[in-house]
Amino acid sequence: MVALSSTEKLEKFRLEIVSGRNPDKPCISVCAGSGCLASGASDVISAFKSEIEKECLNADVVIKETGCPGFCERGPVVVIYPEEICYLQVKPEDVEEIVTKTIKEKQVVERLLYIDPVTGEKAIHEYDIPFYKNQVRNIICNNIKIDSRSIDDYLATGGYSALAKVLTVMSGEEVIQEVKRSGLRGRGGAGFPTGNKWEGSRNDPEKPKYVIVNADEGDPGAFMDRALLEGNPHSVLEGLIIGGYAIGSNEGFVYVRQEYPLAVTNINLAIAHAEEYGLLGKNILGSGFDFGVKVHRGAGAFVCGESTALMAALEGRAGEPRPKYVRSNIKGLWDKPSVLNNVETWANVPLIINNGAGWFTQIGTERSKGTKIFSLVGKIANTGLVEIPMGITLKDIIYKIGGGIPRGKKFKAVQTGGPSGGCIPAGQLDMKVGFDELTGAGSMMGSGGMIVMDEDTCMVDVARYFITFLTEESCGKCVPCREGLRQMHKILTNITEGKGKEGDIELLEDLSETCIEASLCALGKSAPNPFISTLRYFRDEYEAHIRDKRCPALYCKELIRYYIDPAKCRACLICMKKCPVEAIDGEKKKIHIIDQEKCTNCGTCFEVCPPHFGAVKKISGEPLPSPIPDAERIINGRRN
């Protein structure tokens, strides 16, 4: 491949790719994102390859390994083009049938389709499935259309046309004005206006300047950036090059965590291909603009998502935040102007350039424009990545897209914004999703984690869980974060273990104030949020734990006891046999009882007791009923 030396040559080459492809040629696209690979996608891909080989269809069918479409819950996901038939949870043994029926006979394999759990209706196409239907997929839509490792695929979908546009007809200043007009705000957490950040760097006289991709995604349960960088690395790269051009930078970095091996591989491959095509390097597309990108693999510290810590790590030092009061877009990497944006922010840039700020601002609320990708996880029917228009309600995300709470449980709260975000209760589900709306409710947008919790979730334990995470991830440099979180963690652990004392809530509030007001970086300043937001909406749960030694959600192990209801026990022996510590006494036709001295609260009896008996109960904060006299334990005849 000879490097493309002008935008005309790029367009000509794009035309060659597109015209060389037959849109009616059957294409089997299999998600090769981390989620589907974990559920066996690579075996499915191999099975398709050998089946196509066996049927001598090599010349007639394309097999494509694509990025993540988002429906991880039902992976591996297979889509057959041009009909766009979507098969879910495909196994290698389904492959023969798919090839025979769908590829050769143009029929649908009914049993692999999505079935609506409510209506029982089957959905043939991806766009018929409610999970997808209610999303607005501007960024993630290409993930399934392209082979993540093919620059030609990206070009075929119009890739690098935004770069060509800025290099030929826009000045750096004009690019910044377009991004400012779009109202794009940083997708990484704080929601800082992207155009303003760029403008500050551009206007600063210091040189050189740097642009950086923050792919140090570290929130528990979040994988938006991972899926984008794995699935469509060129979209991020194109945004980065445009950003470099806009601010006058010739050097970019991608800071990606080593724990994302596929993302590291794919972005390196994308950079190599872009260099080969003349889309990176000297004199890009003959414009005179030079730009190079290096990949830096992070060692996996959550705090390195913080700008100054990330830049310290890039400079080769320990990833600890620096104390300073000048923004990093002015004094950043090596004290030079540096624009650091999140993966998703960069991926939005080519879309804004191609479609215009006016197109972008059509979607969203007054101060939050465009779409946002969330990773929807927890107690939700449809786990996966969802891209939603800003301004949609939380209720629509959870019920229309997410399919609601499984097993008929009641919704309790949704946690957004990553570990230092907050929990939003049922009463606020009509809230529109936007940066300021979420902050107003005591949570935040963050980078897009969304964890749904049901009635069985203990909110004190949730706070304890996130504070534990943050305590482990604190860099340890400043006192309020290191020592404050250490103490908050101890107190919260004590409360969940029934060792809470009067005054604990006030002490936690004092520690929170110090941590928020006095910490060095954003990690510490937001770390008490899990406590503050759960206290705000679920204070009664804290009080129940401390005063009554009761866990209302019946979750905290030290605060519950198991008890067999003699009226419901059928003396079936199941729990007795499964109890790992032999704490259950009973025999056939003799009602079982738990020896509380021996019981370790493991919950096995509760789980194995047949649901139609439902004899094992959890009790918290109330005395156990007195044991039934031995004589009354014998069951005579049938019980109803």
- For other proteins, which residue of 324, 536, 539, 577 counts as binding (CB under 8 A)? 324
485 is an interface residue for other proteins by CB under 8 A:
yes
CB nearer other proteins, residue 323 or residue 440 = 323
Total residues contacting other proteins (rule CB under 8 A)?
32
Residue 581 CA to residue 1 CA, distance in Å, equals 69
From the list 111-119, 143-151, 287-295, 480-488, the region that binds other proteins by CB under 8 A is 480-488
φ/ψ bin of 106: left (φ > 0), alpha (ψ from -120 to 50), beta (otherwise) = left
CB nearer other proteins, residue 482 or residue 578 = 482
Binding mask 246-285 for other proteins (x = CB under 8 A): ----------------------------------------
439 is an interface residue for other proteins by CB under 8 A:
no
173 is an interface residue for other proteins by CB under 8 A:
no
CB nearer other proteins, residue 9 or residue 486 = 486
From the list 279-287, 408-416, 465-473, 567-575, the region that binds other proteins by CB under 8 A is 465-473
From the list 191-199, 208-216, 364-372, 482-490, the region that binds other proteins by CB under 8 A is 482-490
Which of 239, 253, 255 has the alpha carbon at shortest distance from 303? 255
482 is an interface residue for other proteins by CB under 8 A:
yes
From the list 140-148, 322-330, 357-365, 422-430, the region that binds other proteins by CB under 8 A is 322-330
Tokens of 287: 């414009």
Which of 491, 488, 480 has the alpha carbon at shortest distance from 522? 480
Residue 364 CA to residue 315 CA, distance in Å, equals 37
Task: Report the Cα 610 to chain-centroid distance in Å.
Answer: 35
- For other proteins, which residue of 511, 527, 569, 584 counts as binding (CB under 8 A)? 511
CB of 34 vs other proteins, minimal distance in Å: 26
199 is an interface residue for other proteins by CB under 8 A:
no
For the chain, state the CA radius of gyration. Answer: 28
Contacts of 265 (CB under 8 A, 6+ apart): none
8 A C-beta contact, residue 250 and residue 167:
no
From the list 26-34, 171-179, 201-209, 504-512, the region that binds other proteins by CB under 8 A is 504-512
Q: Is 120 buried (19+), middle (13-18) or exposed (0-12) by CB count in 10 A?
A: exposed
CB of 466 vs other proteins, minimal distance in Å: 15
126 is an interface residue for other proteins by CB under 8 A:
no
Going from the C-alpha of 47 to that of each of 41, 44, 50, 110, the distances in angstroms are 10, 5, 5, 20
From the list 45-53, 67-75, 139-147, 323-331, the region that binds other proteins by CB under 8 A is 323-331
Residue 8 CA to residue 4 CA, distance in Å, equals 9
Which of 22, 20, 23, 17 has the alpha carbon at shortest distance from 1? 17
CB of 504 vs other proteins, minimal distance in Å: 12
Residue listed under structure tokens 């947008």: 445
318 is an interface residue for other proteins by CB under 8 A:
yes
CB nearer other proteins, residue 303 or residue 394 = 303
From the list 63-71, 126-134, 171-179, 320-328, the region that binds other proteins by CB under 8 A is 320-328
Contacts of 230 (CB under 8 A, 6+ apart): 33, 34, 67, 68, 148, 260, 262, 263, 266
8 A C-beta contact, residue 205 and residue 228:
no
Which of 245, 249, 234 has the alpha carbon at shortest distance from 285? 245
CB of 541 vs other proteins, minimal distance in Å: 24
Residue 499 CA to residue 496 CA, distance in Å, equals 7
Neighbours of 56 (CB within 10 A): 8
8 A C-beta contact, residue 458 and residue 556:
yes
For residue 492, the number of C-alpha atoms closer than 13 Å in the C-beta half-sphere is 29
- For other proteins, which residue of 163, 285, 301, 508 counts as binding (CB under 8 A)? 301
From the list 76-84, 90-98, 317-325, 540-548, the region that binds other proteins by CB under 8 A is 317-325
CB of 494 vs other proteins, minimal distance in Å: 10
582 is an interface residue for other proteins by CB under 8 A:
no
Which residues on neighbouring strands pair with residue 528, listed in sequence order? none
CB of 487 vs other proteins, minimal distance in Å: 5
CB of 437 vs other proteins, minimal distance in Å: 24
480 is an interface residue for other proteins by CB under 8 A:
yes
CB of 205 vs other proteins, minimal distance in Å: 18
8 A C-beta contact, residue 304 and residue 298:
yes
8 A C-beta contact, residue 52 and residue 250:
no
Which of 213, 241, 230 has the alpha carbon at shortest distance from 149? 230
43 is an interface residue for other proteins by CB under 8 A:
no
From the list 35-43, 286-294, 386-394, 513-521, the region that binds other proteins by CB under 8 A is 513-521
CB nearer other proteins, residue 272 or residue 507 = 507
For residue 336, the number of C-alpha atoms closer than 13 Å in the C-beta half-sphere is 16
- For other proteins, which residue of 158, 323, 356, 358 counts as binding (CB under 8 A)? 323
From the list 211-219, 315-323, 549-557, 580-588, the region that binds other proteins by CB under 8 A is 315-323
473 is an interface residue for other proteins by CB under 8 A:
yes
CB of 523 vs other proteins, minimal distance in Å: 10
501 is an interface residue for other proteins by CB under 8 A:
no
Contacts of 166 (CB under 8 A, 6+ apart): 175, 242, 245, 246, 353
534 is an interface residue for other proteins by CB under 8 A:
no
- For other proteins, which residue of 42, 134, 365, 514 counts as binding (CB under 8 A)? 514
496 is an interface residue for other proteins by CB under 8 A:
no
299 is an interface residue for other proteins by CB under 8 A:
no
CA dihedral 343, 349, 354, 360 (to 10 degrees): 100
Beta strands in 188-264 (DSSP E): 210-215, 251-257
384 is an interface residue for other proteins by CB under 8 A:
no
- For other proteins, which residue of 268, 487, 493, 601 counts as binding (CB under 8 A)? 487
Backbone CA torsion sign across 69, 143, 170, 342? positive
520 is an interface residue for other proteins by CB under 8 A:
yes
| Interacting residue ranges for other proteins, rule: CB under 8 A | 301, 318, 322-325, 471-480, 482-487, 490, 507, 510-511, 513-514, 517-520
